[in-house]
Amino acid sequence: MKSSSPLKWFATREGLYFVALAVLLVVLLPLALDPFRLNMVGKYLTYAFVAIGLVMCWGKAGILSLGQGVFFGLGGYCMAMFLKLEASTPEATAIQSTPGIPDFMDWNQLTELPWFWEPFHSFSFTLLAVIGVPVLLAFVIGFAMFTRRVGGVYFAIITQAIAAILTILIIGQQGYTGGVNGITDLQTLNGWDIRTDEARTILYFVCVGMLFLCLFVARLVQNRKLGRILVAMNAQENRVRFSGYDVAAFKIFVFCLAAAFAGVGGAMFTLIVGFMSPSFIGIVASIEMVIFCALGGRLSILGAVYGALLVNAAKSGFSESFPELWPFAMGALFIGVVLAFPNGLAGLYQTYVMPLEDKIFKRNKGAQLEAKPAEKAAEPKPTAEKTPDYDPMIDSYSPEKS
């Protein structure tokens, strides 16, 4: 029975929602879009990693971070450092005054590779750093803040300040980070040219695979006791603390988890787009990431993915026609989400679409019962187990309906 449970899960409402997203990303979009547009969708999906982390951090635990771009950028910069070193061989940089170092270092009159760049010659170390560096910074911030019971608006302002500080630091240290231009001209990954259409298509599917891995990790967390504690902590933090739980430890964990998701998204962004710059770390980028989560539904991990896709698709389309008006449209969108549908697209889906699904499901279920043979209808019905209803607003089973 237990071995068949994963297959049974795909037949549930929650499983069907995951399957629908997989069909959209793996089948429909690759068939309908040319390589250029598909690469753009891949770029949009890298922001979905951050949005999923924000659902766990903000929607579940009540920790609003306005600096998730920091972790996105750190993961991206770690991958960019590896790719830049691979492109900066002595043969490829023979015309520089100091061959063997990145071009922006040579322009800033550095004569040797900085010590913190050296480990990024290793691809294995880079993969660890993509997750490890954002998680380490998130742990330091979380430990410093949550153990002192700093939260709410104060924590949001602090994370926003950290995003501004890191942006200024990266721009100011041009010789080590590439400055305002960032790290550009990234060409190969272990000798594989990532600039071709075929490579970009492969990277798109890798991005989709990593996205679903993060989705299932988030689902695993929220459907366990840990997820219930996070939700309870959001609603009644003092009660959870008085019950004997270390609230600070849970907050640090979920904040580090969101940072890990963002770091993976940043690394995939660097591979798909081919560069990384401080513009993806700052305050504006971080607030946009919050909007992705808010539009999709800050309580729904699947809604976060759709929110990231829709907002970025609208941004690309709107910017092509009215580039100077997009910031105003983004602000209006955020205000509209907060005032009109605070639970995002997932809330609208739950309110208007799910009742129709329930009617169809009950109608089909009634027809199946009528078609059963008489002997099966006479069999005793099991009463020991009850199948709980799936609530897409919170991506978990609703105890009220079970």
Secondary structure of 99-121 in HEC code, one letter for each residue: CCCCHHHHHCCCCCCCHHHHHHH
Q: When comparing pLDDT for 369 and 267, which is higher?
A: 267
* Per-residue pLDDT reduced to its tens digit, 208-226: 999 999 999 999 999 999 9
d(CA 201, CA 211): 15
Yes or no: say if 307 and 296 are a contact pair by the CB < 8 Å rule.
yes
**Number of domains forming the structure of the chain:** 1
Does some domain include residue 387?
no
Residue tagged 């170390």 (tokens): 125
Q: How far is CA 138 from the centre of its chain?
A: 15
Task: Summarize pLDDT for 301-323 with one digit per residue, the tens.
Answer: 999 999 999 999 988 888 777 77
Structure confidence by residue, pLDDT tens digits, 244-253: 999 999 999 9
Sign of CA dihedral 136, 140, 145, 146: positive
CB 268 within 8 A of CB 47: no
C-beta separation of 289 from 161 below 8 A:
no
Alpha carbon distance 291, 337 (integer Å): 9
d(CA 299, CA 303): 8
**34 Cα distance to chain centroid:** 24
Sequence letter at residue 51: A
Do the bridges between strand 192-193 and strand 390-391 make them parallel or antiparallel, or are there none, so unpaired?
unpaired
The percentage of the chain sitting over the pLDDT mark of 90, rounded to a whole number, equals: 64
* Residue 53 confidence (pLDDT): 96
pLDDT at 397 over 50: no
Rounded to whole angstroms, the Cα distance separating 108 from 296 reads 44
Examine the pLDDT at 375 and tell me if it is beyond 50: no
Cα angle: 282, vertex 283, 284; to 5 degrees: 95
Whether 398 has a pLDDT exceeding 60, the answer reads no
In this prediction, residue 218 carries a pLDDT of 95
pLDDT at 10: 74
How do residues 331-367 score in pLDDT, each as one tens digit? Answer: 787 788 778 888 888 888 888 888 887 777 776 655 5
199 pLDDT above the threshold of 90 = yes
Q: What is the rounded average pLDDT of the residues 120-135?
A: 96
Report residue 99: phi and psi, to 5°: -65, 150
Confidence tier at 368 by pLDDT (50, 70, 90): low
Is 241:247 a contact under the CB 8 Å cutoff? Answer: yes
Does some domain include residue 231?
A: yes
Q: Which pLDDT does position 402 carry in this prediction?
A: 31
The 10s digit of each residue's pLDDT in 265-299 is 999 999 999 999 999 998 989 999 999 999 999 89
Q: Is 346 in a helix, a strand, or coil?
A: helix
Q: Is the pLDDT of residue 379 over 70?
A: no
Residue 32 has pLDDT above 70, yes or no: yes
Q: Is residue 314 included in any domain, yes or no?
A: no
Q: What percentage of the chain has pLDDT greater than the value 70?
A: 88
* Domain annotation covers residue 226: yes
258: in domain: yes
In a domain, 337, yes or no: no
Greater model confidence, 106 or 326: 106
Per-residue pLDDT averaged across 65-73, rounded?
A: 95
Residues 156-161 have a mean pLDDT of 94
Would you place residue 387 in the very low, low, confident or very high pLDDT band (cuts 50, 70, 90)? very low
The rounded Cα 357 to chain-centroid distance in angstroms is 28
State the Cα–Cα distance between residues 325 and 248, nearest whole angstrom. 42
In this predicted structure, what is the pLDDT of residue 5?
66
Distance CA 337, CA 109 (A): 49
Domain presence at residue 158: yes
Residue 385 lies in a domain: no
Where in the sequence is the domain holding 211, given as residue range(s)?
Answer: 10-304
Structure tokens at 184: 């550009």
Please state, rounded to an integer, the average pLDDT across all residues of the chain: 87
Cα–Cα distance for residue pair 70/73, rounded to 1 Å: 5
DSSP per-residue string spanning 140-159 = HHHHHHHTTT--HHHHHHHH
Q: Give residue 143's identity as a one-letter amino acid code.
A: F
Q: What is the largest CA-CA distance in the chain?
A: 89
CB 396 within 8 A of CB 227: yes
Mean pLDDT to the nearest integer, 103-111: 90
- DSSP secondary structure letter of residue 394: T
Per-residue pLDDT at 401 exceeds 90: no
